[in-house]
Amino acid sequence: MRLRTWLRLHSTLVYAFLYGPIVMLVILSFNRSGLPTAWGGFSLHWYRELLHNEALLNAALNSVLVAAGSTLVSAVFGTLLAMGLERIARSLVLDAFVFLPMIIPDIVLAIALLSFFTLIELPLSLLTITVSHIVFNIAFVAAIVRTRLSYFDNTLEEASLDLGAPPLKTFFNVTLPLILPGVLAGSLLAFTISLDEFVIAFFTAGPSQPTLPILIYSMVRFGVTPDVNALATVVLSVSALLILISQRLGGTEGFF
Amino acid sequence: MVSPILLLGPALTWLVIFLVFPLALIFVYSFLQRSPFGQIVFQPSLDNYLRLFNPTVLRVFLNSLRIAFIVTLLALLLGYPTAYFISSQPSRWKNTLLVLVILPFWTSYLIRTYAWIVLLNREGVLSRFLLGLGLIREPISFLYNDTAIVIGLLYGYLPFMVLPLYSSIERLSPELREASFDLGAPPLRTFWHITLPLTLRGIVTGAIFVFVPSLGNFFVPELLGGGQRFMIGNMINNQFLQARNWPYGSAMAFGVMAIVLALLFFQAWVTRRTEQV
């Protein structure tokens, strides 16, 4: 077989591996019978069930609150950090430190934060999850804003400063509008990660305020139930949509 | 010029308080003991680290390393040709194909793991399918073994392999390969002597990005291994949430961190070496 044909076939199978299980879940979520193996006709029944599940709606709300809070803080801190790293403190050690949360196993970060919150007697709640999510979201926002900054024309800022605009005015009128797509892309990415993050949330959540992934975990541990399929479809669609928008804004380009 | 303190200050302060302190704290804990009631007792010793070498724990460590290694190897075998294929496409396709690789990664890993439960359980899609074909006589569960864990981890972290590979293949200049072809080297030889060494950095980066999270993951072994197959992540989870022996759990975490650090130094070494060439 020709190399080209073989590569194409191989890649097709890899894409099938990546998307097959997801597509299967989506199809099953519309299955009236609720069984994974018997098609009972198209139905939105399981989606309607979701709307009546109070615990689930609460958990979804908790997740949105945590994601919004952590995104807001990391968007500001991450953008400032990106500017600092790109313009002032170009150092490999600093880079390694800032991006550490992306590489250490999440369970290590999770137990460290749990120990720390217990030591300072901060009760576990949505606040502790938010605080924890900011730790790694800063890195994601900074990474993306930095890519944007790296092909930024510095002379524009210099011109503004030369023309007598104070630094703060220059930042808001010149710099920010130019890097805004990067900031938005990074924020969307951070929001999505936080929304779906499970391990750190699992360790830093209070007992009565689970986020959606924590609730999903407790549901799937007890086996396959048809309403999880519908929930899974909703959650996957929301994330995919946010990431595609982020990608349009140039979010995931140059990430590696 | 804006002051560096304003730019770097907020993020670095946050990271010192909520990353450095917590890690330092569990590092200290890892040398302490716990009381019968789960409290931490100040009795510095190396006991927790020595206990990492007891046969049960050591076996879990070795099994986790083995699983993470298999996952990494499979990811490389699946990922390299895919990255190569994407890189050989016209540029308008490249971006779409790359987004398609990374998109699942940004969606809930928990849910994607659940998809495999639906596929592999006793009453699941695969079992019913094989039953329908008459290949098996009664429903079989494909869950609760190392293979299921490997599939789940591979499924989750494969995008991490493809992206760095893609960017290093993309950086190869086509002239090098052409020169090799022109001088009469067969394709496989060109690949072995030119392409592979020049993309080594991407291979190492991808391998670490797959190996590290595979090693520490606890919900894939929990959900697809059914709690019967243990990995390091499950042990740490157990020490913290069930056995409530935080010092011992912390020592396990630093066992993992030692492996991770060794790998990162190896990556830095490879990067430096390939830059010299």
Inter-chain CB proximity A80 and B29 less than 8 Å: no
B218 touches chain A (CB under 8 A): yes
B133 touches chain A (CB under 8 A): no
In one letter, which amino acid is B26? I
Overall domain count for chain B:
1
Measured between CA atoms, the residue of chain A closest to residue B158 is A18
Structure confidence at residue B276 (pLDDT): 57
pLDDT at B8 over 90: no
Residue A194 to residue A243: CA distance in whole angstroms: 13
Beta bridge partners of A42: A31
Inter-chain CB proximity A243 and B107 less than 8 Å: yes
Structure confidence at residue A64 (pLDDT): 94
pLDDT at B2 over 70: no
Structure confidence at residue A120 (pLDDT): 93
Instruction: Give domain status of residue B13, yes or no.
Output: no
In one letter, which amino acid is A244? L
B143 touches chain A (CB under 8 A): no
Query: From the CA of B55, how many Å to the nearest CA of chain A?
Result: 23
Structure tokens given for B263: 């790998």
Instruction: Give domain status of residue B88, yes or no.
Output: yes
Instruction: Give domain status of residue B104, yes or no.
Output: yes
Closest of B185, B18, B158, B143 to residue B83, by C-alpha = B158
Instruction: Give domain status of residue B35, yes or no.
Output: no
Measured between CA atoms, the residue of chain A closest to residue B219 is A199
Instruction: Give domain status of residue B17, yes or no.
Output: no
B86 touches chain A (CB under 8 A): yes
Q: Which helix (H) or strand (E) holds B34?
A: strand B33-34
Enclosing domain of residue B135: 54-276
Our separate counts of H helices and E strands in chain A read 13, 0
Residues 160-179 of B with CB under 8 A from A: 163-164, 167
Residue B140 maps to which CATH number?
1.10.3720.10
Which chain B positions have a beta carbon within 8 Å of A104's beta carbon? 257, 260
Which chain B positions have a beta carbon within 8 Å of A252's beta carbon? 99, 102
Instruction: Give domain status of residue B44, yes or no.
Output: no
Inter-chain CB proximity A14 and B82 less than 8 Å: yes
pLDDT tier at B194 (50, 70, 90 boundaries)?
confident
B-interface mutation test, from A99, A203, A238, A256, most B Cβ less than 10 A away = A256
Structure confidence at residue A54 (pLDDT): 86
Structure confidence at residue A182 (pLDDT): 85
Measured between CA atoms, the residue of chain B closest to residue A129 is B18
Measured between CA atoms, the residue of chain A closest to residue B212 is A105
Structure tokens given for A162: 């030369």
Nearest to B124 among A36, A221, A244 (CB): A36
Structure confidence at residue A134 (pLDDT): 96
Nearest to A80 among B7, B113, B114 (CB): B7
Structure confidence at residue A77 (pLDDT): 94
Closest of A153, A6, A145, A5 to residue A75, by C-alpha = A145
Inter-chain CB proximity A142 and B11 less than 8 Å: yes
Q: Note the pLDDT tens digit of each residue in B15-74.
A: 999 999 999 999 999 999 888 877 888 888 898 899 999 998 999 999 999 999 999 999
Q: Note the pLDDT tens digit of each residue in B119-178.
A: 887 777 777 778 788 777 777 777 788 889 999 999 999 999 998 899 888 887 777 767
CA A114, A118, A120, A126 torsion: positive or negative? positive
Instruction: Give domain status of residue B11, yes or no.
Output: no
Instruction: Give domain status of residue B46, yes or no.
Output: no
Structure confidence at residue A253 (pLDDT): 54
Q: Where are the alpha helices (DSSP H) in chain B?
A: 4-15, 21-29, 47-50, 55-87, 91-106, 109-120, 125-133, 146-171, 174-182, 187-190, 196-198, 200-216, 219-224, 232-241, 246-276
Percent of chain B beyond pLDDT 70?
97
Give the number of beta-carbon pairs within 8 Å between A and B: 244
Q: Are A135 and A109 in contact (CB under 8 A)?
A: yes
Structure tokens given for B12: 């670095």
Inter-chain CB proximity B109 and A189 less than 8 Å: no
Taking the whole predicted model, whether its pTM rises above 0.90 is answered as no
Closest of A86, A110, A108, A115 to residue A98, by C-alpha = A86
Nearest to A111 among B85, B103, B253 (CB): B253
Instruction: Count the Cβ atoms, other than its own, within 10 Å of residue B25.
Output: 20
Which chain B positions have a beta carbon within 8 Å of A4's beta carbon? 88
- The pLDDT averaged over each successive group of 10 residues in chain A (256 residues) is 84 93 88 73 82 87 95 94 81 81 90 95 93 94 84 78 83 83 88 92 91 90 77 88 83 50
| Interval B252-264 mean pLDDT | 92
Higher pLDDT, B187 or B13: B13
Burial class (CB in 10 A: 0-12, 13-18, 19+), B7: buried
Structure confidence at residue B119 (pLDDT): 86
Inter-chain CB proximity B22 and A112 less than 8 Å: yes
